[in-house]
Amino acid sequence: MALLDGKIGIVFGVANKRSIAWAIAQAWHEAGAALAFTYQGERLRENVEELASTFGADTLILPCDVSRDEEIERVFAAAGQRFGKLHLLLHSVAFAPREALEGQFVNTSREAFRMAHDISAYSLVALSRHAAPLMTEGGSIVAMSYYGAEKVVPHYNVMGVAKAALEASTRYLAYDLGPQKIRVNCISAGPMNTLAARGISGFGEMLKHYEEHAPLKRNVLPAELGATGTFLASDGAAAITGQVLYVDCGYQIMGM
């Protein structure tokens, strides 16, 4: 019997094969879960259809811009109709306007701050609220975070503040949904070479810095995020909720 046999999940945040969401979805699938997928917009539809259909031609795949309430409602109505229940939800979504990740944090515009928090943090609250009524047998909600939530990482700027809001939201959601046996946790991943990291100036040096300074002297592999995602989704993590788990080769423990 595989770890997630009989579990039904929904995955937000696949853009392409390098997406962290895809690494965790593959691990959930290999552990026996049945999965539905959402994509941000028409631009990403083909990518996600091509990847997700490897899990079966009848895989549920729906558009969902998480900044639009009506799209969120449509997704959970469709998932309810198809499955009648839900056990797992992966939130692997973040966005801040590019200019906010370039200059100084002090120059963050009201609109960039609003967008970053809406898409990267509030969306977890909205998705959890819609998922909870379907999680009638309990559930596990997993969101992706980054170290810039707790310490200053130059240029991460408003995304760091939004990740702090995401992590705090994880704790308040864990408190609210705990009585329904719904657990809510974050995985704080070390830097990964994904679409969201591409074009961030100095990202190559950041990977090298982690390799030199993390206790394990290397960077994280996608399959390792998959394995942690599977653990958090499984009954092995039945007493873990509201936590931020660092999957970063130990980087976060260092003081110098």
Asked if 94 interacts with ligand 0WE (CB under 6 A), we say yes
Asked if 65 interacts with ligand NAD (CB under 6 A), we say yes
Is there a catalytic annotation at residue 146? yes
Backbone angles phi, psi at 163, to 5 degrees: -70, -35
Asked if 98 interacts with ligand 0WE (CB under 6 A), we say yes
Residues 75, 12: contact at Cβ < 8 Å?
no
Which among 157, 147, 163, 165 has a CA at the least distance from the CA of 106?
Answer: 157
109: helix, strand or coil: coil
Starting at the edge strand found earlier in the chain, the sheet holding 139-145 runs 61-63, 34-39, 8-12, 88-91, 139-145, 182-189, 244-247
Given the rule CB under 6 A, which of 29-37, 54-62, 149-157, 216-224 is the region that contacts ligand 0WE?
149-157
CA-CA distance, 243 to 245, in Å (whole number)?
6
Residues 140-179 vs ligand NAD: string with x where CB under 6 A?
Answer: ----xxx---------------------------------
- Binding ligand 0WE (rule: CB under 6 A), the pick from 24, 90, 101, 121 is 101
Is there a catalytic annotation at residue 122? no
Where does this chain bind ligand NAD (CB under 6 A)?
13-15, 19-21, 40, 44, 64-67, 92-95, 119, 144-146, 189, 191-192, 194-197
